[in-house]
Amino acid sequence: MSIVKAMFRAVGGVHPDYRKSATAQKAVREMPLPALLRVSTAQHLGAPSRPVAKKGDAVLRGARLAEPAGFISAAVHSPTSGVVKAIADAPTPTGATAPAIEIEPDGRDAWDPSIAPKPDWQTMSSKNLAALVVEAGIVGMGGAGFPTHVKLSPPPNKPIDTLILNGAECEPYLTADHRLMIERAEQVWAGAEIIRHILGAKTVRVAIEDNKPDAVRSMERAMAGAAGDVAIAVLKTSYPQGAEKQQIYGITGREVPTGGLPMDVGCVVENVGTALAIFDAIVNGRPLTERITTVTGSPVADPSNVLARVGTPYGDLVSFCGGTSGPVAKWISGGPMMGFAQHSLETPTTKTTSGLVALAPGDLTAFASTPCISCSRCVTACPMKLLPCELSQILEAEDYAAAEALNVLDCIECGCCAFECPSRRPLVQHMRRGKARAMARRRAEEAKKKGK
Amino acid sequence: MTKEADKPGAEEAGKTPLLVVSSSPHTHSGASVRRIMLDVVLAMLPAVAVSLWLFGLDALRLLTVCVAACVLFEYAARKIMKRDAGIGDLSAVVTGILLAFNLPPGLPSWMAVIGCFAAIVIAKQVFGGIGYNPFNPALVGRAALLASFPVQMTTWAAPSRLSAALEPARNTLDAMTMATPLGWTKTSLAAGSQLPIGMNGGVAWDFLAGFKPGCIGEVSGLALLLGAAYLFYRRCIYWQVPAFFIGAVVLFSGALWLDDPAHNMPPLFHVLSGGVILGAFFMATDMVTSPVTKTGMVIFGAGCGALTVLIRKWGGYPEGVSFAILIMNSLTPLINRGTKPRIFGHAKRNGRK
């Protein structure tokens, strides 16, 4: 076990105002159960899960409420014991709506008897362990919500030699992963050992930015007795160090090919929160029903790291943090670089709600499509080495074919370009539109091929 | 929670506050076009100060006339074209100062106003305004004046302090005007005479400080470098353009000098005379008209430097900086197209190590 510096300098990136000090030193507080939980069926990337619970059902904590609707999908479990009041549409953090299972807690918070701890996981096969991860409904908790079992079952022709545990938390304001690494380092590391066992990965790197030295020390203690090629990789603080492709490059020098996955270069990246969820799922037998969310921003009265059940309405989270002490102009689910602006606080939390950030009117940035002055700051900032300025002008002219030729699909929507743009052009919006059109065109082409 | 009144979301603060919903990112570096232009103006202040010291009221007159005329033309053009009056971004102020920097001290004010018209209306607003102009507006203004008023544009008043090495360059009929070092060199060589100026440490220092005739803003390399350092610090210019511009001037003029030192001035002379420093740091670096890729900036800078020496050596004019930059401006779209960076993950060296 050692501490290494990330060897390769990832290109691009920006240095936003991090504003983490409001919550970085605050221990996680567990929130009491709200009056009603709304458990969404669209908490992950891929197909929304299919509800199996019915209105009126009495359920216990950990009972399955919805089942995966395909390989890239995930199960959803009851966050407490209670009664299913309804299955009705609820807003999702991305601004869409999806069916949600509404649970009225009975106050007992009793676990379902099906919960089966597996403390002897070392003796189990990869396949069986991965099956337990599917059972537990675990998805990537860093933000994207990619179903974890997909990453844990690479095809035989793609062996994994390196597991990277992502504790970079490069988004401003957020400190949920930071606190997790300080307060639950042993469990996080135990989760990493389980993932390593499943993948048969020889090397493990825990990626932490150098603005979190206390997290580095805490993880170092937890990993003291670890065997094999295990180290903490300290990353220079910069956004987006937590982006999967950039992190793999920084630590291993390998570039995930365009359109490919980390497994194409022998790597798997898991968020530290995901590692903890896997520990809980295997060793304690508990499905994923809670997570830490950083509730912060200058208008929040008592900014906190909150351990809350999945399905807790945002409004209840805010009340638990003392409500707001000033006007809020924008609520963001996630961080300010890639998070989603909310139109109401009725939205329930999901497995990926890393933060809820309030912006005061003075914190707002207005974007406007004023002409590009070719300052090339976006070109310097783009971690994918795209030409955002050129793409944006092409997309403004709605020339989608040209945008596709300029590789708009490689954009990771990190927001570095728009963050730097002195003309305040809505570059990420342009890219999203270009990507959607390019994807639609590809799908249409594939359908045509199949039809022939 | 300051300045709530004019921000969205606060109209009904206290009652039912409206939430702003927009695409990510929700935060910004704070950079703005206005701030960049202000930085460029600030960076030009040392050179403005030196020009006032060396050329006195003439410098003040030209700077005032050019800035005022550029801003007015910009405002009027936007109004006539029924577009937002875009003078708040300060880009017209930058063009005004840069154009004044490129004028000889004795130029009549009305001629300067014509230059401003060419710069702002013809080179910039006709193309759609800031961001859309293919050529550096100030340099188009200068080129138009050079073509229209060749005598006045090449009549040089001696500065209040002059390098002793240049004393013989004073006009024999009119001791107030004189040739620039580049012009003097060119005419001497054309007349079959020897090189008129011997470069040594003292001459180099005089040239760097600005004790030589020339356009009001180009004479003091020292003042310009001070401003350039600020532009680097503020991330308004990248090192590639000036480094390769000056590097190419040194290499090309150095090769000529090594080949035939009797008929070519040394590279140090070429860098310190004329508009190389002004051009390399303040005009070739113009964001709108230079490439956006790093490789492109290298090619662009090197091209500017090479063309500058080419024009100085074989061209009709003694000085070539402005035409060199204008020619490279025209190649900027092509350079951008040809130097697209390799996108992450598109490498041939993909895959496992």
Burial of B64 (0-12, 13-18, 19+ CB in 10 A): middle
**pLDDT, one tens digit for every residue, chain A (452 residues):** 688 877 777 788 999 999 999 999 999 999 999 999 999 999 999 899 999 999 999 999 999 999 999 889 999 999 999 999 999 999 999 989 999 999 999 999 999 998 889 999 999 999 999 999 999 999 999 878 899 999 999 999 999 999 999 999 999 999 999 999 999 999 999 999 999 999 999 999 999 999 999 999 999 999 998 888 999 999 999 999 999 999 999 999 999 999 999 999 999 999 999 999 999 999 999 999 999 999 999 999 999 999 999 999 999 999 999 999 999 999 999 999 999 999 999 999 999 999 999 999 998 888 777 899 999 999 999 999 999 999 999 999 999 999 999 999 999 999 999 999 999 999 999 999 999 999 999 899 888 888 76
| Residues B161-218: tens digit of each pLDDT | 888 888 888 877 776 788 899 988 988 888 888 888 888 888 999 999 999 999 999 9
Minimal-distance CA residue of chain B relative to A432: B23
Residue B315 has pLDDT above 60, yes or no: yes
Contact: A254, B344; criterion CB under 8 Å: no
Closest-CA residue of chain A to B342: A385
pLDDT the model gives residue B170: 81
B345–A384 CB contact, under 8 Å: yes
d(CA B84, CA B65): 24
In three-state secondary structure terms, A350 is coil
Dihedral of CA atoms A240, A309, A357, A327 in degrees, nearest 10, equals 170
* Interval A329-382: pLDDT, tens: 999 999 999 999 999 999 999 999 999 999 999 988 887 778 999 999 999 999
Question: Which of A238, A257, A228, A235 has its CA nearest to residue A162?
Answer: A228
pLDDT at A452: 65
Q: How many CB atoms lie within 10 A of CB B114?
A: 16
Length of chain B: 353
Q: Which residues have CB under 8 Å from B336's CB, separation 6+?
A: A387, A390, B291, B292, B293, B296
A405-408 contacts: CB < 8 A, separation 24 or more? A406/B340, A407/A258, A407/B343, A407/B346, A408/A434, A408/A435, A408/A438
Are B345 and A255 inside 8 Å of each other by CB? yes
Q: How far is B291 from chain A (nearest CA, A)?
A: 8
- Tokens (6 digits) for B134: 């293919």
Chain A residues touching residue B288 (CB < 8 angstroms): 373-374
Exposed/middle/buried for residue A259 (C-beta within 10 Å: 0-12, 13-18, 19+): exposed
Average pLDDT, stretch B249-271?
94
Determine the Cα–Cα distance for residues A63 and A164; give it in Å rounded to an integer: 31
Kindly determine whether residue A336 and residue B27, on different chains, have CB atoms separated by under 8 Å. Answer: yes
pLDDT at residue B17 in the model: 62
CA torsion angle for A378, A240, A397, B331 (degrees, to 10)? 30
Asked whether the beta carbons of residue A389 and residue B345 sit closer than 8 angstroms, the reply is no
From the CB of residue A11, how many other CB atoms can be counted at a distance below 10 Å? 15
Q: Are A331 and A311 in contact (CB under 8 A)?
A: no
Q: How far is A222 from chain B (nearest CA, A)?
A: 30
Exposed/middle/buried for residue A161 (C-beta within 10 Å: 0-12, 13-18, 19+): middle
Which tokens belong to A331? Answer: 């609520």
Please tell me whether residue A205 adopts helix, strand or coil conformation: strand
Alpha carbons B180 and B182: distance in angstroms, whole number: 5
Taking only Cα atoms into account, the Rg of chain B, rounded to an integer number of angstroms, comes to 23
Residue A256, pLDDT score: 94
The answer to whether the Cβ–Cβ distance between A424 and B336 falls below 8 Å is no
Sheet holding A162-166, edge to edge: A2-5, A229-235, A203-209, A162-166, A267-271
Which of residues B321 and A6 earns the better pLDDT score?
A: B321
Is the distance from CB of A386 to CB of A411 less than 8 angstroms?
Answer: yes
Q: Cα–Cα distance between A300 and A327 in angstroms, integer?
A: 9
Tens-digit pLDDT profile for residues A293-330: 999 999 999 999 999 999 999 999 999 999 999 999 99
Whether residues B24 and A361 touch (CB distance < 8 A) is answered with no
| Run of H or E including B263 | none
- A435: Cα separation from own chain's centroid: 21
Contact: A253, B21; criterion CB under 8 Å: no
Q: What is the pLDDT of residue B7?
A: 45
Residues 6+ positions from A443 with CB-CB distance below 8 Å: none
Size of interface A-B (CB pairs under 8 A): 201
Interface test with B, best of A161, A239, A343, A365 (most B CBs within 10 A): A365
Interface test with A, best of B20, B22, B27 (most A CBs within 10 A): B27
Give the list of residues 6+ apart from residue B342 with CB closer than 8 angstroms, or none: A385
Residues of A with Cβ-Cβ distance to B132 under 8 angstroms: 371
- Nearest-Å Rg of the Cα atoms of chain A is 22
Tell me how close the Cα of A339 comes to any Cα of chain B, in angstroms: 6
pTM as predicted:
0.91
Q: Which residue has the tokens 């070519």?
A: B264
> In chain A, positions 80-99, which contact chain B (CB-CB < 8 Å)?
95
Residues of B in contact with A429 (CB under 8 A): 23
The helix or strand, by DSSP H or E, that contains position A106, with its residue range, turns out to be: none
Q: Write the residue in B238, B341, B349 that is nearest to A385 by C-beta.
A: B341
Q: Is B167 exposed, middle or buried (0-12, 13-18, 19+ CB in 10 A)?
A: exposed
Q: Model ipTM?
A: 0.90
Torsion over CA of A321, A326, A327 and A333, rounded to 10 degrees? -30
